[in-house]
Amino acid sequence: MTIDELDFQRARPIRCDPDPLDFALIAVKSLEEPFTADLVALIHDESPMKGCSLVVFNHEQLQQGNACLVKVGRMDPVAALITWRKQLEPKLIRIGLQYLE
């Protein structure tokens, strides 16, 4: 294992599996109240109070570095930053979100 791989493992926060029936709502067009969802996503995993990763249909505004509002499961909507994205299928991506609040 290289030093970079060890640093990544140390820096990675604890991840939890979501509740089976939970999903996420994402607002990318309007980042102001009231919360109006534009997309629905499956919750891949969560990091308590830090962020989550979601599986969602590709959207032009879901780019690394963009902000959005997200409501994950029963949590109230919060501002989040898209920290990474990975193409899974031609129309399906997985994104990593860091909560900003």
Residue 47's pLDDT is 82
pTM of the model: 0.80
Give the pLDDT confidence score for residue 9 in this predicted structure: 47
Q: What is the pLDDT of residue 14?
A: 60
Query: What are the average pLDDT values for consecutive 10-residue runs of the chain, which has 101 residues?
Result: 49 62 91 89 87 94 95 93 96 95 80
Nearest in space to 54 (alpha carbons), one of 98, 17, 94: 94
| CB 52, CB 21: distance < 8 Å | no
Task: Look at residue 62 in the predicted model and tell me its pLDDT.
Answer: 95
Query: What pLDDT does 8 receive?
Result: 47
CB atoms within 10 A of CB 86: 11
pLDDT at 1: 47
Domains and CATH numbers, the chain: 3-99 (2.40.10.220)
